[in-house]
């Protein structure tokens, strides 16, 4: 540990104060911090844009009780509380979706935040007597899911982490991508003297390998450390200049391995813990968006990778179990929603299977989370509904298909997307090539009727995430 | 003891039993045809036919004699007879339509229940259209109908469609029906508290209950008609115990206790409250029976709320 006792104590005090403030807010019921995360291309930006648009216009959320009961009066965007965090560019993303030639917005690169205030009539009789209207301030925090995948690093030391990463790199699906890096590692002696240029070269090779993984067609997602891919303001800093090395017991102080271990600890401390403290620990509710369909497209390696990534993500939500998260303390997330996005890319009758498939990935850890008191749900949703379900005629049989405009084309087509299995155990090793879900682009004229962007089950997601606070 | 695995057959699936279990209770399935009273029915039917034939003969005889006396008188009498038969037919037709409509509502409810239990996709859309069709001609429901059409998309599954129909179309009706029940319950509570004789009490309760029944049924589906009312009343008597209005045991205890405490203060007032609660209970059962969809768990009207409103009654000053 690079920090002294005093630093730890001050830190704990700060966390306790934050936790108390959060508890007070929760009791007063006036503000709620909602974290939105998901791996790359899972649809975080579109999700937040659509949620804001739909809350502001309140025309397409019939299953949100506050809306259907006529209790939601109005919503408006407000200046956000954290001056150092970039604001979520709602107007820009919305303009892109509603343009004459609409396209999907750019991806999340770092944390951003936006605040929306909801004014509503309380449902409870007693509360209605006290105030005729109440306000819920909803802070939506958007951050890359890759950062969440770093959290399990906190529970590992450098040797254990290196072993896991090197095993993963040599495994199926990744071996061709990691060849250059692994060959370099093989020629090195970790117990040799530390050398900045070697460290930098290794880190560059490792980063290149991670980039290749992410760009690969199989969509590998468990990539640690996440900041190597999204460095933000830390570009080139020493905390980002390390790589996994095969552990040697003989490596003493001053060796390459010692330097790497030191930087690994610094990364944990300055990057992972800081993110946890400043963002994650302050969340009340969390949505994790998962692009199940892309993983299915990628076949068995993609699915195995998704399972690992989800398990690592879930690790972050295990509260109060006395693990390292208990050490981090503070008030905790009490509702987690796992949503399979892009549900509009399959026929509507398949949505139940899509949600069941996602749940089957989470089957193991779900029990632990529910046991610890947090509520967890899975849903199949589409933040923006880009297709319609139609019946196509196939040899005299009606076949539920989707109609939409595929990416890179101009005219709508009708596609039979195939069937989604209800559990990932039903997918054998022959999955490669079995699934081929088409990507669609947003149709022109979205939301022109002024009722909000068309969506699938955004109202159910909101009901679960904020519905109880609108009571 | 060992058996040859090749000769063992799979145990019968229990899915059918599970579905049946899901169906009783809240669903209020239509009662099975009663067999015990068949003889009584035959008796009643044959007697009615006899009376009808006798009246017919008498009338024909009367008209014949009137024609013998004067063709004018005969004409007037036969005209009266035709009018009577015609209006009777009209009345019967209307009754039959009302009865059929109540039966249709029962079928809708059962179908909704099995759809909700199965949780599939695509089955609820026709059901929703039929429920909306029940209210198609009503001006006060036009806005709710439009809102429902606007909020439904092809992506909603069966449960969501049922939820939507309840939240958009039936919620205003539920509120109105609840107000009707509360009002009747108040009327009866006040009336029996003030009325001087027990006979008057009974008459008041009976009259107000029948009126409430017709009001609630008319609000949800259609005017039930005479026959329909009778059937509704009968089904209500059989279902009051079964449905139990999903009141938990403790609320019943609280109910009894509440009435008991008040009873110590004034037996007259207590009697009024008990009568009021009785009418409320009948009214809530009528809501369950006339509604085209079964109540979702959190939308169910509670007797407890009515009791609270009734207990607050003496405190109100106007």
A239, A257 Cβ separation under 8 angstroms? no
Find chain A residues with C-beta within 8 A of B122's C-beta: 349
Find chain A residues with C-beta within 8 A of B164's C-beta: 62-63
What is the per-residue pLDDT for B313? 65
Contacts of A241 (CB under 8 A, 6+ apart): A199, A200, A203, A263
What angle separates helix B38-69 from helix B71-118, to the nearest 10 degrees? 150
Query: For B52-96, how does the pLDDT look when each residue is reduced to its tens digit (9 = 90+)?
Result: 999 999 999 999 999 998 899 999 999 999 999 999 999 889 888
Tell me the pairing of strands A388-394 and A397-406: antiparallel
What does the pLDDT average to over B37-44? 86
Please indicate whether, in this complex, the C-beta atoms of B155 and A348 are within 8 angstroms of each other. yes
How many angstroms away from the CA of B106 is the closest CA of chain A? 26
Find chain A residues with C-beta within 8 A of B150's C-beta: 451
Residue A319 in this model has a pLDDT that exceeds 50 = no
Q: Please name the residues between 263 and 302 in chain B that touch chain A, using a CB distance below 8 Å.
A: none
Confidence of residue A453 (pLDDT cuts 50, 70, 90): very high
Residue A204 in this model has a pLDDT that exceeds 70 = yes
What is the per-residue pLDDT for B12? 59
Residue A457: closest C-alpha in chain B: B156
What angle separates helix A300-315 from helix A351-371, to the nearest 10 degrees? 30
Please indicate whether, in this complex, the C-beta atoms of B155 and A65 are within 8 angstroms of each other. no
Q: Please name the residues between 428 and 457 in chain A that touch chain B, using a CB distance below 8 Å.
A: 451, 454, 456-457
Token pair recorded at residue A141: 């925090």
- Give dist(CA A179, CA A209) in Å, integer: 9
Query: For A50-101, how does the pLDDT look when each residue is reduced to its tens digit (9 = 90+)?
Result: 999 999 998 899 999 899 888 999 999 999 888 888 899 999 999 999 988 8
What is the per-residue pLDDT for A1? 40
Tell me the pairing of strands A285-290 and A335-340: parallel
What does the pLDDT average to over B30-47? 76
What does the pLDDT average to over B93-111? 85
Query: Which of the residue ranges B3-17, B136-150, B160-174, B280-294 would you say has the lowest mean pLDDT?
Result: B3-17
Q: Quick one: what percent of chain B has pLDDT higher than 90?
A: 17
Where are the CATH 3.40.50 domain residues in chain A? 5-143+284-385+447-470
What is the per-residue pLDDT for A289? 92
Residue B316 in this model has a pLDDT that exceeds 60 = no
Residue B167: closest C-alpha in chain A: A68
- Give dist(CA A35, CA A280) in Å, integer: 8
What is the per-residue pLDDT for B23? 41
Per mean pLDDT, which of A105-109, A419-423, B30-34 is the most reliable?
A419-423
What is the per-residue pLDDT for B297? 77
Which carries the bigger pLDDT value, residue B5 or residue A135? A135
How many angstroms away from the CA of A420 is the closest CA of chain B? 15
Alpha helices in A227-299 (DSSP H): 256-267, 273-278, 292-298
What is the per-residue pLDDT for A431? 58
Tell me the pairing of strands A72-78 and A397-406: unpaired
Q: Quick one: what percent of chain A has pLDDT higher than 70?
A: 88
Find chain A residues with C-beta within 8 A of B163's C-beta: 63
What is the per-residue pLDDT for A59? 87
Please indicate whether, in this complex, the C-beta atoms of B164 and A389 are within 8 angstroms of each other. no
Please indicate whether, in this complex, the C-beta atoms of B167 and A65 are within 8 angstroms of each other. yes
Fold of A5-143+284-385+447-470: Rossmann fold (3.40.50)
Confidence of residue A456 (pLDDT cuts 50, 70, 90): very high
Query: For A384-420, how does the pLDDT look when each residue is reduced to its tens digit (9 = 90+)?
Result: 999 988 888 888 888 888 899 998 888 888 988 888 8
Residue A429 in this model has a pLDDT that exceeds 70 = no
Residue B13 in this model has a pLDDT that exceeds 70 = no
What is the per-residue pLDDT for B83? 94
Mean predicted lDDT score pLDDT of chain A: 83
Minimum-distance CB partner of B164 among A63, A69, A344: A63
CA dihedral B240, B245, B246, B248 (to 10 degrees): -90
Query: Which residues are bridge partners to A455 per DSSP?
Result: none
Residue B248 in this model has a pLDDT that exceeds 70 = no
What does the pLDDT average to over A132-139? 89
Confidence of residue A2 (pLDDT cuts 50, 70, 90): very low
Please indicate whether, in this complex, the C-beta atoms of A60 and B151 are within 8 angstroms of each other. yes
Residue A32 in this model has a pLDDT that exceeds 50 = yes
- Give dist(CA B133, CA A170) in Å, integer: 64
Query: For B180-226, how does the pLDDT look when each residue is reduced to its tens digit (9 = 90+)?
Result: 999 999 898 888 888 777 788 888 888 898 889 888 888 887 666 67
* Ordered DSSP codes for A151-176: GGGGG--HHHHHHHHHHHHHSTTTHH
What is the per-residue pLDDT for A15? 62
Per mean pLDDT, which of A312-316, B48-52, B286-290 is the most reliable?
B48-52
- Best residue in A60, A62, A67, A348 for a mutation probing chain B (most B CBs within 10 Å): A62
If we measure between CA atoms, which residue out of A38, A10, A1 comes closest to residue A336?
A38
Query: For A214-232, how does the pLDDT look when each residue is reduced to its tens digit (9 = 90+)?
Result: 877 665 677 888 888 877 7
Q: Is A382 on the interface with B (CB under 8 A)?
A: yes
Minimum-distance CB partner of A348 among B119, B154, B171: B154
- Give dist(CA A205, CA A181) in Å, integer: 5
Residue A115 in this model has a pLDDT that exceeds 90 = yes
What is the per-residue pLDDT for B308? 80
Chain A and chain B share a number of CB contacts under 8 A equal to 45
């Amino acid at each position: 540990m690079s920090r002294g006792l005093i630093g730890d104590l001050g830190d704990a005090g700060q966390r306790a104060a934050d936790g108390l403030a959060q508890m007070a807010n929760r009791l007063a019921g006036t503000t709620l911090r909602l974290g939105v995360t998901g791996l790359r291309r899972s649809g975080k930006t579109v999700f937040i844009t659509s949620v804001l648009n739909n809350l502001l216009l309140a025309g397409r959320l019939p299953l949100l009780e506050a809306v259907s009961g006529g209790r939601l009066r109005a919503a408006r965007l407000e200046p956000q509380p954290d001056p150092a965090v970039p604001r979520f560019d709602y107007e820009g993303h919305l303009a892109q979706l509603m343009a004459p030639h609409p396209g999907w917005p750019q991806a999340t690169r770092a944390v951003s935040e936006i605040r929306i205030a909801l004014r509503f009539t309380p449902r409870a009789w007693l509360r209605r007597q006290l105030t005729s209207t109440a306000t819920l301030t909803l802070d939506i925090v958007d951050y890359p899911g890759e950062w969440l995948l770093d959290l399990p690093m906190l529970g590992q030391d450098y040797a254990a982490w290196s072993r896991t990463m090197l095993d993963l790199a040599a495994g199926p699906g990744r071996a061709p991508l990691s060849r250059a890096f692994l060959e370099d590692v093989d020629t090195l002696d970790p117990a040799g003297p530390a050398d900045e240029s070697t460290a930098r070269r290794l880190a560059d090779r490792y980063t290149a390998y991670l980039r290749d993984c992410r760009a690969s067609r199989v969509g590998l997602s468990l990539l640690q450390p996440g900041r190597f891919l999204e460095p933000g303001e830390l570009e080139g800093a020493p905390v980002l200049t390390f790589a996994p090395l095969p552990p040697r017991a003989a490596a003493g102080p001053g060796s390459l391995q010692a330097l790497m271990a030191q930087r690994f600890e610094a990364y944990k401390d300055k990057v992972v813990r800081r993110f946890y403290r400043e963002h994650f620990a302050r969340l009340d509710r969390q949505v994790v968006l998962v692009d199940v369909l892309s993983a299915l497209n990628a076949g068995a390696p993609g699915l195995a990778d998704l399972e690992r990534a989800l398990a690592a993500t879930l690790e972050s939500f295990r509260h109060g179990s006395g693990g390292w998260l208990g050490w981090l303390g503070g008030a905790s997330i009490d509702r987690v929603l796992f949503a399979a996005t892009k549900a509009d890319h399959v026929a509507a009758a398949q949505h139940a299977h899509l949600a069941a498939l996602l749940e089957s990935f989470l089957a193991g850890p779900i029990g632990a989370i529910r046991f610890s008191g947090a509520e967890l749900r899975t849903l199949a949703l589409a933040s923006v509904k880009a297709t319609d379900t139609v019946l196509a005629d196939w040899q005299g049989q009606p076949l539920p298909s989707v109609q939409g405009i595929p990416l890179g084309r101009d005219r709508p087509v009708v596609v039979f997307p195939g069937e989604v299995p209800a559990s990932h155990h039903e997918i054998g090793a022959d999955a490669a090539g079995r699934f081929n879900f088409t990507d669609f682009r947003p149709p022109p004229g979205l939301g022109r009727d002024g009722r909000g962007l068309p969506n699938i089950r955004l109202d159910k997601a909101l009901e679960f995430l904020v519905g109880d606070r609108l009571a | 003891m060992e058996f040859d695995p090749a000769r063992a057959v799979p145990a019968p699936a229990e899915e059918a039993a599970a579905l049946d279990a899901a169906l009783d209770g809240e669903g209020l399935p239509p009662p099975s045809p009663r067999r015990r009273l068949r003889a009584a029915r035959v008796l009643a039917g044959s007697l009615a036919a006899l009376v009808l034939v006798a009246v017919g003969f008498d009338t024909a005889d009367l008209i014949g004699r009137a024609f013998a006396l004067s063709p004018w008188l005969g004409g007037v009498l036969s005209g009266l007879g035709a009018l009577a038969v015609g209006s009777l037919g009209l009345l019967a037709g209307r009754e039959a339509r009302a009865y059929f409509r109540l039966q249709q509502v029962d079928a809708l409810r059962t179908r909704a229940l099995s759809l909700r239990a199965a949780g599939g996709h695509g089955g609820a859309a026709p059901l929703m259209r039929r429920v909306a069709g029940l209210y198609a001609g009503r001006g006060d429901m036009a806005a709710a109908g439009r809102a429902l059409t606007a909020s439904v998309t092809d992506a909603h599954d069966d449960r969501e469609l049922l939820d939507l129909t309840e939240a958009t179309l039936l919620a205003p009706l539920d509120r109105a029906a609840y107000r009707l029940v509360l009002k009747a319950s108040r009327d009866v509570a006040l009336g029996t508290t003030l009325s001087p004789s027990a006979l008057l009490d009974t008459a008041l309760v009976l009259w107000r209950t029948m009126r409430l029944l017709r009001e609630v049924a008319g609000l949800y589906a259609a005017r039930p008609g005479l026959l329909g009312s009778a059937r509704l009343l009968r089904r209500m008597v059989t279902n009051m115990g079964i449905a139990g209005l999903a009141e938990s045991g403790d609320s019943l205890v609280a109910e009894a206790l509440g009435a008991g405490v008040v009873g110590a203060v004034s037996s007259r007032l207590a009697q009024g409250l008990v009568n009021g609660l009785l009418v409320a209970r009948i009214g809530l059962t009528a809501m369950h029976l006339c509604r085209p969809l079964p109540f979702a768990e959190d939308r169910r009207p509670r007797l407890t709320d009515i009791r609270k409103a009734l207990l607050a009654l003496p405190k109100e000053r106007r």
